[in-house]
């Protein structure tokens, strides 16, 4: 029954100024910088930045090619979500229990925040009652419309209503029966990696149709069967044996060159599925468990160079006690797995989005 509910829900959804320091450290040091200059001007090459990060209500742009990071200093209100389109960043801020929609057009000579609308629902109505996360922005590009979920329901562990913003007219309205009759599901057609991440929508690609689960393992089937998981002992990542179940694998995405696969290994069930993410090469020679992730709560996206960026856990120092709390309540950071498979922490925050034009 739990697996059936998961499948239904799966169908429903699939911080930093540039510092003159070494590449790996300038990103980490930049997030959390509190001083702002008087002139709020973004770098001239801001359109080349391909990621944004949220840290304590602040928005940071990241250039994956140069590892430069810069703060959107002109925005003084607290950001709660973001949507990175090729030329425009849409985001919401929380202000006096309102949730407001704003944008910044990166093609302009001097990009500045632009107020678009008040969504017309209280900010608190857009926060989940599970892990306290904020509703993500949705995008219906063939209708030139943005969406924002609200009204959390324990019946489906998610929001059951949505407000819509028409980018052409600037009008805000409720989700209507007319949209349903025209074949629009309440979730957008794109990958939405949210805090309640079994509500994501996965985009199909070439590799997905070749993946099979068999005898407790995950295989690439292209003529011969190639096992992608036989070098990983997934059982050691079970946190509570009382909730353990047979390992289930769920495809998430593949690298731009289609040589690596990102997938979930679901190991146990509570109200949500839990386990870890893993990356395997399609020849099975690389099998990399992402030990500091959880199936419910992950954010992970590929960059155009083949890097995988994901939210993981902050490393514990030798003096720190073992932390047996849930993944959702541990300190997080953003990590980048480069094409040669070495891993770096690139920021000490826990939310990001890759520009849509570079998504695979």
**Spans of all domains in the chain:** 6-196, 208-358
| pLDDT for residue 192 is more than 70 | no
Tokens of 297: 């709560």
Residue 98's contacts (CB-CB under 8 Å, 6 or more residues apart) are 118, 119, 122, 123
pLDDT, residue 58, reads 97
Q: What is the mean pLDDT of residues 211-240?
A: 91
Nearest residue to 252 via CA among 216, 291, 218, 286: 218
Q: Determine the Cα–Cα distance for residues 105 and 154; give it in Å rounded to an integer.
A: 37
Beta bridge partners of 276: 265
Q: Determine the Cα–Cα distance for residues 71 and 17; give it in Å rounded to an integer.
A: 5
Q: In what order do the strands lie in the sheet with 287-290?
A: 244-254, 260-269, 273-281, 287-290
Q: What is the mean pLDDT of residues 158-172?
A: 94
Alpha helices in 49-184 (DSSP H): 177-181
Tokens of 156: 């489906």
> In this predicted model, what pLDDT tens digit does every residue of 41-92 receive, in sequence order?
999 999 999 999 999 999 999 999 999 999 999 999 999 999 999 999 999 9
| pLDDT for residue 213 is more than 80 | yes
Computed over every residue of the chain, the mean pLDDT equals 82
Which residue pairs, CB below 8 angstroms and at least 24 apart, start in 16-20? 16/53, 16/55, 16/60, 16/62, 16/69, 16/70, 16/71, 16/347, 17/69, 17/70, 17/71, 18/43, 18/68, 18/69, 18/70
Nearest residue to 333 via CA among 309, 354, 311: 311
HSE at residue 101, side-chain half, CA atoms within 13 A, is 25
Cα–Cα–Cα angle for 242, 243, 249, rounded to 5 degrees: 140
pLDDT, residue 271, reads 74
Tokens of 126: 């857009």
Confidence of residue 4 (pLDDT cuts 50, 70, 90): very low
Strands 158-166 and 244-254 turn out to be unpaired
pLDDT, residue 25, reads 33
DSSP-derived secondary structure for 59-74: EEEEETTTTEEEE-TT
> In this predicted model, what pLDDT tens digit does every residue of 247-289 receive, in sequence order?
999 999 999 999 999 999 999 887 778 899 999 999 999 999 9
> In this predicted model, what pLDDT tens digit does every residue of 16-49 receive, in sequence order?
333 333 333 333 444 444 454 456 899 999 999 9
If phi > 0 it is left, if psi is from -120 to 50 it is alpha, else beta; for residue 98 that is beta
Q: Which helix (H) or strand (E) holds 3?
A: helix 2-13
Q: Do residues 92 and 83 lie in contact, with contact meaning Cβ atoms separated by under 8 Å?
A: no
State how far the alpha carbon of 298 is from the alpha carbons of 212, 213, 255, 281, 283, in Å.
22, 22, 17, 20, 25
State how far the alpha carbon of 269 is from the alpha carbons of 1, 87, 97, 106, 323, in Å.
11, 40, 35, 43, 20
Q: Which helix (H) or strand (E) holds 99?
A: strand 98-105
Q: Which helix (H) or strand (E) holds 146?
A: strand 145-153
């Amino acid at each position: 029954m739990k697996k059936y509910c998961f499948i239904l829900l799966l169908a429903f959804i699939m911080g930093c100024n540039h510092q003159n320091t070494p590449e790996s450290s300038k990103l980490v040091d930049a997030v959390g910088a509190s001083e702002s200059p008087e002139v709020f001007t973004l770098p001239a090459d801001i359109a080349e930045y391909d990621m944004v990060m949220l840290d304590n209500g602040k928005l940071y742009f990241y250039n994956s090619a140069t590892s430069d990071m810069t703060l959107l200093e002109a925005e003084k209100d607290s950001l709660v979500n973001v949507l990175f389109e090729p030329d425009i960043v849409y985001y919401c801020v929380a202000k006096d229990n309102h949730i407001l929609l704003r944008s910044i057009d990166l093609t302009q000579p001097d990009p500045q925040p632009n107020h678009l609308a008040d969504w017309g629902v209280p900010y608190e109505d857009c926060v989940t009652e599970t892990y306290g996360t904020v509703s993500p922005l949705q995008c219906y590009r063939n209708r030139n419309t943005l969406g924002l979920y609200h009204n959390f329901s324990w019946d489906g562990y998610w929001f059951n209503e949505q407000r819509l913003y028409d980018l052409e007219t600037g009008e805000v309205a409720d989700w209507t029966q007319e949209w349903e009759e025209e074949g629009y599901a309440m979730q957008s057609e794109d990958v939405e990696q949210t805090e309640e991440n079994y509500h994501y929508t996965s985009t199909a690609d070439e590799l997905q149709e070749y993946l099979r689960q068999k005898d407790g393992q995950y295989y690439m089937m292209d003529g011969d069967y190639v096992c992608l998981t036989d070098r990983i002992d997934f059982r050691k990542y079970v946190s509570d044996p009382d909730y353990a179940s047979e390992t289930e694998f769920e495809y998430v995405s593949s690298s731009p060159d289609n040589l690596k696969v990102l997938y979930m290994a679901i190991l146990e069930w509570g109200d949500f599925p839990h386990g870890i993410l893993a990356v395997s090469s399609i020849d099975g020679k690389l099998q990399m468990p992402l030990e500091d992730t959880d199936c419910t709560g992950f954010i992970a996206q590929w960059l155009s160079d083949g890097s995988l960026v994901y939210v993981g856990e902050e490393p514990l120092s030798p003096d720190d006690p073992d932390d047996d709390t849930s993944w959702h309540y541990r300190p997080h950071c953003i990590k980048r797995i480069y094409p040669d498979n070495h891993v770096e922490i690139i920021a000490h925050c826990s939310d990001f989005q890759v520009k849509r034009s570079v998504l695979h």
